[in-house]
Amino acid sequence: PEAPRIRNFSIIAHIDHGKSTLADRLLEATGTVSARQMKAQFLDRMDIERERGITIKAQTVRLSYRAADGEAYALNLIDTPGHVDFSYEVSRSLAACEGALLVVDASQGVEAQTLANVYLALENDLEIIPVLNKIDLPSADPDRVRREIEDIIGLDASAAILASAKEGLGTEEILEAVVRRIPPPGGDPAGPLRALIFDSWFDSYQGAVVLVRVVDGAIRPGDRIRMMSTGQEYEVSRVGHFAPDAVDRDVLGAGDVGFLTAAIKSVRDTRVGDTITGARRPASAPLPGFRPVKAMVFCGLYPVDSAQYDQLKEAVEKLWLNDPAFSYEPETSSALGFGFRCGFLGLLHMEIIQERLEREFELSLISTAPAVPYEVTLADGTVTKIHNPAQMPPPDRIAQVAEPYVRAEIHLPKEYVGAVMRLCDEKRGTQAGMRYLTPDRVLLTYEMPFNEIVLDFYDRLKSASRGYASLDYDFIGWRPADLVKLDILINRQPVDALSVIVHKEKAYYRGRDLAGRLRRVIPRQLYEVVIQAAVGGRVIARERIPPLRKDVTAKCYGGDITRKRKLLERQKAGKKRMKQVGSVEIPQEAFLSVLKV
């Protein structure tokens, strides 16, 4: 269809408010997916997403809808993730849309990410249609939530749609609102091609599959296209859309959203955010890209079996193509060998990438504890960023260490304000504001070191508020702090991969705690293992693991062969996640024990 019959929209929501379930209803109601094919959260394609019940990668699907006005419309639905770690994905999806359904759980109300996502939508000038979901719940209070949307966000919610994605209420009304309230895409169909890459992934048969929003011009199979950032050219092999399977088309016109393939083999040539133009009649300027993002959590990833290094290298490169917020560079650790220092937006992002590397690429990995970057000013005045605690220069060469700070916005019911304020104080936070959004809901604003959030803030916040508080944060800059490197020595050898940066006042306590934890997670070995924690060469804690006395299988008395085999198998499985460091086998948990305080 021509642009006037196209609508490009997203669904935005706080996590668990029902975005994926609503997408399922839209797929069903438009016959895009039959009831027989339907699985819950259909768009959450990747296994990990299904298991964790969250949406990670935005997915795109075309719905064909005959509206009440009798016309046939093509509705391009671009699903977005709801978690704070993925706001980058949200903003790039929104750049491909003219409107968004704002789903708010009618029993919960406006939460931190409802607001964060609405702001992203408003930045992109989207038409926002509020949907009050879960009205089937007895605790639903649509009038209160409608007032919250008006008071907190400042959106007119008088025409908010009442819905139950679970029971299919309101679906038809939502589809009509998409057609009537979201403007059709603009753009110049006759102009030189400009298409925004908003997602891409690698397919071993077709090369890169690139999701684009065509802004001006059109793309057809056989066209020669050019990537504006690199100047690389390709001949288009296929264009089409997902409904939900790939459907080939003759053309993707101005205003449309779809995919293209062009036998693109080099994964570096389809960077998300880049503009595609025509090689014969190139556009003069690219489309505005996305808000740049900076990784703020780093960890080392190493193959358990060093023979898997090349596989890991290929895998991180492929994931990087698909996820520009993920970064990597080669790193060598004296303890762990060759691997990569990888950067992530947050902890969830990190876990997801690790899990994808292991599942999709069949790798077995050891990861070091996540750490934030530090900005170090040396005695001679040079300033460097450190992404690995092991790189921290010796204290006598350092003039100042600064750590990243965030402004944290916490939404919570008023009864938990006291407990959450105490937690924020403990986490070195400074209160920057407190506001009653409604008589029962409070917005607390704190400035705090991001390192504290990486440690365990989110879990602690959830327990301090019985799960009711929600969090969003933004980086506000670097602030100097009294920070030192805590080293761990195993049998007197420093293990670089276990170093952490800690606040000086907490160093003694953290060192003892960490040495104690390591004693508990490192299994007994044939020889004695001595664990030491040290700051600036001074040992502040020491633990000892006594040697094993007998062969572990000896206690099977040689009799029960199945039991013996089981024991050996269990040992073998455990070994998979062990890394030989000097003469000592260190399990994966050891590298993460610094996270537990």
Q: Which residues does the annotation place in the binding site for GTP?
A: 16-21, 133-136
Interface stretch with ligand GDP, choices 10-18, 254-262, 515-523, 558-566 (CB under 6 A):
10-18
Burial class (CB in 10 A: 0-12, 13-18, 19+), 345: buried
Q: How far apart are CA 90 and CA 88, in angstroms?
A: 5
**Three-state secondary structure call for residue 324:** coil
Interface stretch with ligand GDP, choices 18-26, 193-201, 324-332, 588-596 (CB under 6 A):
18-26
Binding of residue 142 to ligand GDP (CB under 6 A): no
Whole-angstrom CA distances from 136 to 49, 65, 118, 480, 543 are 26, 26, 24, 51, 57
Binding of residue 130 to ligand GDP (CB under 6 A): no
**DSSP E strand stretches across 353-482:** 365-367, 374-378, 383-386, 398-413, 430-436, 441-449, 470-480
Q: Which amino acid is at 421?
A: M
Tell me how far, at minimum, the Cβ of 23 lies from Mg ion, in Å. 8
Output 32 or 55, the one with its CB closest to Mg ion: 55
Among 4, 31, 53, 186, binds ligand GDP (CB under 6 A): 53
Binding of residue 133 to Mg ion (CB under 5 A): no
- Cβ-contact 552, 538 below 8 angstroms: no
Among 8, 10, 55, 465, binds ligand GDP (CB under 6 A): 55
**Residue with token string 């065509």:** 214
- For residue 249, what are the β-bridge partners? 239
Among 41, 206, 377, 391, binds ligand GDP (CB under 6 A): 41
Tell me how far, at minimum, the Cβ of 26 lies from ligand GDP, in Å. 12
In the shown chain, the binding pattern of residues 153 to 192 toward ligand GDP, with x for contact by CB under 6 A and - for none, equals -----------xxx--------------------------
Output 141 or 589, the one with its CB closest to ligand GDP: 141
**Three-state secondary structure call for residue 6:** strand
Which has the closest alpha carbon to 256: 531, 5, 51, 578? 5
Task: Give the pair of three-digit tokens for residue 172.
Answer: 């038809």
Among 3, 7, 18, 227, binds ligand GDP (CB under 6 A): 18
Output 55 or 367, the one with its CB closest to Mg ion: 55
Binding partner at 351 among ligand GDP, Mg ion, none, C-beta below 5 to 8 Å by kind: none
Output 23 or 301, the one with its CB closest to ligand GDP: 23
**Three-state secondary structure call for residue 37:** coil
Q: How far apart are CA 503 and CA 449, in angstroms?
A: 11
Output 136 or 150, the one with its CB closest to ligand GDP: 136
Output 164 or 333, the one with its CB closest to ligand GDP: 164
Binding partner at 164 among Mg ion, ligand GDP, none, C-beta below 5 to 8 Å by kind: ligand GDP
Tell me how far, at minimum, the Cβ of 422 lies from ligand GDP, in Å. 30
Binding of residue 15 to ligand GDP (CB under 6 A): yes
In the shown chain, the binding pattern of residues 80 to 119 toward ligand GDP, with x for contact by CB under 6 A and - for none, equals --x-------------------------------------
Q: Which amino acid is at 241?
A: H
Count of residues binding Mg ion (CB under 5 A)?
2
Task: Give the pair of three-digit tokens for residue 58.
Answer: 């935005």
Tell me how far, at minimum, the Cβ of 55 lies from ligand GDP, in Å. 5
**Three-state secondary structure call for residue 243:** coil
Task: Give the pair of three-digit tokens for residue 379.
Answer: 């005695």
- Cβ-contact 9, 77 below 8 angstroms: yes
- Cβ-contact 270, 261 below 8 angstroms: no
Among 20, 76, 133, 470, binds Mg ion (CB under 5 A): 20
Binding of residue 55 to Mg ion (CB under 5 A): yes
Task: Give the pair of three-digit tokens for residue 167.
Answer: 């029971």
- Cβ-contact 445, 431 below 8 angstroms: yes
Instruction: Name the H helices within 489-537.
Output: 507-521
Residues interacting with Mg ion, by CB under 5 A?
Answer: 20, 55
